[in-house]
Amino acid sequence: MNYRLEENNIIMAPFENFSLALTLDCGQAFRFAEKDGVWEGLVGKKKIKAMQRENGEVVFYDTSEEEFCGFISDYFDFNTDYNQLKELYKIDKTMEKAVDFCGGIRILKQESWETLCSFIISQNNNIKRIKGIIDRLCEAFGEETKEGYLFPRPEVLADKTPEELSFLRAGFRDKYIIDAARKVSSGEVDFEKIKTASLEDAIEELTKIRGVGLKVASCVLLYGFNRKDAFPVDVWIKRALEEFYPEGFPSEFYETRGIAQQFLFHYIRNKEETDI
């Protein structure tokens, strides 16, 4: 990673066609907002504030070399070589187009509980509403800090009732949030076990929660447990598999097929609109 320090900001040199906007707004994370080209969001207790210049440089504001090399690089998974992965994906015609279209995306390493709760809310829902529900959830139950409201811990939500969550306007998902909070805070669903379990066992553990099926569990593992072999199949990916991969998704991608999935998802979902 090539970077330099200017006052309290880190300037990161362009690399691998990295796109800050695509990465933060491709449907994997829901707590980042853009204003005048500057993206802000809370990751745990720390705020990440960043913008990307025309020349590809990324400015990370109010940080240090230590924080950039540790916390920020870890969150963006900057030490994983995406160029190598993208070359591999290009053996496939459709994936080649996807990589050309949105190869600047990186899979973030998000906090496990926040990811679980967020993707429970995501089911049969649209991204704009998902963000609104999560904003209200954080403001009502998250610890208030000078950086903003933290994502509420499961212990705080475990003893709530659906009526107490009705202001979220989460619909039928409110009881799923409560069930997840109870099972995670009690240890009935064990995050430590998930971290070392096989993909199959990890999915089985997460699907003990009401409202968590194969797709949500796969998203949680991919985005919230850094499991690059987790492969969420939503309506868009399902269509793409039927249309382009009647023989199945290429087995060569297995170990990192979750990343390939993210490129494919964004490509098929956005190509028509931007072609015009």
Partner DNA sequence: GCCCAGGGAATCG
Partner DNA sequence: CGATTCCATGGG
CB 218 to DNA: min, Å? 7
Would you tell me how many other CB atoms lie within 10 Å of the CB of residue 183?
Answer: 21
Measured in residues, the chain has a length of: 276
Phi-psi region for residue 200, left (φ > 0), alpha (ψ -120 to 50) or beta?
Answer: alpha
243 lies in the site for DNA, by CB under 7 A: no
C-alpha to C-alpha distance for 106 and 263, rounded to whole angstroms:
9
Nearer CB in complex with DNA: 68/82: 82
Residue 11 CB, nearest approach to DNA (Å): 28
Q: Report, in angstroms and rounded to the nearest whole number, the Rg of the chain calculated over CA atoms.
A: 19
x-marked contacts with DNA along 192-211 as a string, rule CB under 7 A: ---------------x--xx
Stretch that binds DNA, among 72-80, 95-103, 137-145, 166-174 (CB under 7 A): 166-174
Interface residue with DNA among 73, 125, 185, 270 (CB under 7 A) is 125
* Interface size with DNA, residues (CB under 7 A): 36
Does 212 contact DNA by CB under 7 A?
yes
Among 22, 219, 240, 259, binds DNA (CB under 7 A): 219
Nearer to DNA, 82 or 265 (CB): 265
What is the contact mask toward DNA in residues 223 to 242, using x (rule: CB under 7 A)?
A: ---------xxxxxx-----
Among 45, 139, 172, 201, binds DNA (CB under 7 A): 172
Residue 116 CA from chain centroid, whole number: 10
* Under rule CB under 7 A, residue 27 binds DNA: yes
Distance CA 3, CA 11 (A): 5
Among 86, 215, 227, 257, binds DNA (CB under 7 A): 215
CA dist., res. 52 & res. 185, Å (int): 38
Q: Which is nearer to DNA, 170 or 189 (CB)?
A: 170
52 in Cβ contact with 60 (< 8 Å)? no
Cβ 253 vs Cβ 217: under 8 Å: no
Strand ranges inside 95-234, DSSP E: 144-145, 148-149
How wide is the angle at C-alpha 103 spanned by C-alphas 100 and 108, nearest 5°? 165
> Quick check: 28 binds DNA (CB under 7 A)?
yes
- Continuous segment of H or E residues that includes residue 128: helix 127-141
Query: Residue numbers of the site for DNA (CB under 7 A)?
Result: 26-28, 122-130, 166, 169-172, 207, 210-217, 219, 232-237, 261-262, 265
